[in-house]
Chains A and B, each alone.
Chain A
Amino acid sequence: MKILEIHNIKKKFDDVEILKGISFSMEKGQTLSILGSSGSGKTTLLRCLNFLEIPDEGTITVNGDVLFFANTVDLRDENVRKNRRHFGMVFQQFNLFPQYTALENVVLAPKLEAKSKGEIVEIEEKGRELLRKMGLEDRMNNYPHQLSGGQQQRVAIARALALQPDILCFDEPTSALDPELTGEVLKVIKELANQHTTMIIVTHEIGFAKEVSDEIIFMDGGVIAEQGTPEQVIDNPSNERTKQFLANYLK
């Protein structure tokens, strides 16, 4: 069974159609990268998956359960809150909570659902383990403003992983970082890909996308212009817009 199937997702803002019918599916353990020029709707698509926006049309199905069927959903609904839990989201701007330490950021949400003291101890142990995996062993008790951008983003990744989402989404995770800090974040994501974490990555790092992805989608003007393996889409694009985009990028 597919872990994620989205069908004909459409989204308008102020009568302008931003997503014009997006459909794709992915297998568990896959890494899918989404490329595309600015304004093509990549962020909007991820926001729809995380229920930060409500699509106007379409369906979102996770593990065979239809989570979203257009016009039957109210964002305030408790169900939406549950459905969100299938997805994790790593933002371009990290969005860590400034008043909490790295570890507190990671364990905050899971702890709110803990039912016993023992469970809390377990959650904190798991949080430390996640931060260790992110190479932040000695930064766990630092506040976000005491961390570099790369470190903050790795905390944000740990925070998203702590809820064990089925699918982890990244929206340009390295775009807000100084060039010398992107490597440490990409390395962590690559590690996750090696461990078969199911991920959707919106990125402008084409070399990186080619390296980690099982599948690549190229978006243009609110539609999927091209989709395939990295070899197909990046090395032998067939779509004119893809070719143009890649040519601009290589320049």
Chain B
Amino acid sequence: MFTNVTLSLLEGFLGTLKLFSLTLLFSLPLGLVISFGSMSKNRIIKFPIRFIIWVIRGTPLMLQLLIMFYGPGIFLGINLWGSGDKGRFTAALVAFVINYACYFSEIFRGGIQSIPRGQYEAAAVLGLNKRQTFFKIVLLQVIKKIVPPISNEVITLVKDTSLARVIAFYEIIWEGERFIKSAGIIWPLFYTGVFYLIFSGLLTLLFGYIEKKLDYFR
């Protein structure tokens, strides 16, 4: 029984993992783009972006998932996501990517703005152009600053993936809950916690390692 449960939970965890990794893959670069937008000198870019960030950070992710999934059908009368599991996954992924990109963008913005002006000025008087200044001088200092908050967000994401079940996205808790109905046992549901713990433990180790790697400068 235990082995059976473990195997099906692992299968559910694959769904969790898929949503987790694809969310990171898309939201990190999108977050960087949004952060540049939110720092833009052009008001026509800056204010709409800051507005979107405010809306996304100011409302529950669960609500965003529901609106993302049902919204196109209800408001626009189109079946944007197609049908079946694939549609649910796509809708969940898009909602997660937008949500996390906004959070990441604020972390990036904080990191970029925390670099002292003197660093840019020193680079400028040494004749570095904008590109060189960003990649050679600013980037690594920003990465060092943002690793701890990014690490927090990423570990939150591990757990947030479980929210996707409100639109019936198949993931590990869904799988664990299934055993209540099918076999009348509840412990598989609790057992899912172990998977989360191990995974977030691994991520904590990974981020700790990165932080340590960047410890050589201040």
Point out residues on B near A: beta carbons under 8 Å.
116, 118-119, 121-129, 132, 136-137, 140-141, 144, 216-218
Contacts and interface: CB of A to CB of B under 8 A. Distances in A.
B130 to A, nearest CB: 8
Interface in A117-134: none
A108 B121 contact: no
B118 A91 contact: yes
- Rank and list the top 9 A-B pairs by shortest CB-CB distance, nearest first: A95-B122, A109-B126, A95-B118, A145-B218, A89-B125, A99-B217, A98-B217, A99-B140, A50-B125
B132 A52 contact: no
B118 A98 contact: no
Contacts of A109: 126-128
**Mostly helix, strand, loop or mixed at chain B's interface?**
helix
Contacts of A113: 127
Interface of A: 50-52, 78, 81-82, 84-85, 87-89, 91, 93, 95-100, 108-109, 112-113, 143-145, 159-160, 163
Nearest to A93: B118
Contact of A84 (B124, B216, B217, B218): B124
A97 B125 contact: no
Given A95-B118, A143-B217, A52 B128 contact: no
Nearest to A50: B125
Contacts of B129: 78, 81
Nearest to A49: B125
A81 B129 CA distance: 7
A95 B216 CA distance: 18
A99 B126 CA distance: 17
Contact of B141 (A81, A89, A99): A99
B119 A97 contact: yes
Contacts of A143: 216-218
A157 to B, nearest CB: 13
B128 A112 contact: yes
Contacts of A145: 217-218
Contacts of B141: 98-99
B135 to A, nearest CB: 11
Contacts of B121: 52, 89, 91, 95
Contact of B127 (A85, A91, A96, A100): A85
Candidate in A50, A78, A88, A99 with the most chain B CB atoms within 10 angstroms: A99
Given A98-B141, A98-B217, A143-B216, A163 B119 contact: no
Nearest to A156: B122
B77 to A, nearest CB: 48
Candidate in B118, B122, B125 with the most chain A CB atoms within 10 angstroms: B125
B127 A95 contact: no
A88 B127 CA distance: 10
A23 B201 CA distance: 65
B217 A52 contact: no
Contacts of B140: 99
A229 B105 CA distance: 56
A100 B138 CA distance: 12
Contact of B126 (A93, A144, A163): A163
Nearest to A97: B137
A21 B203 CA distance: 60
Contact of A159 (B116, B126, B128, B144): B126
A50 B116 CA distance: 18
A95 B119 contact: yes
Nearest to A78: B129
Contacts of A50: 124-125
B122 A84 contact: no
Candidate in A87, A108, A145, A160 with the most chain B CB atoms within 10 angstroms: A108
Contacts of B218: 98, 143-145
A115 to B, nearest CB: 15
14 contacts: A87-B125, A88-B125, A89-B125, A91-B122, A93-B118, A95-B116, A95-B121, A97-B122, A98-B217, A100-B217, A108-B136, A112-B128, A144-B217, A159-B126
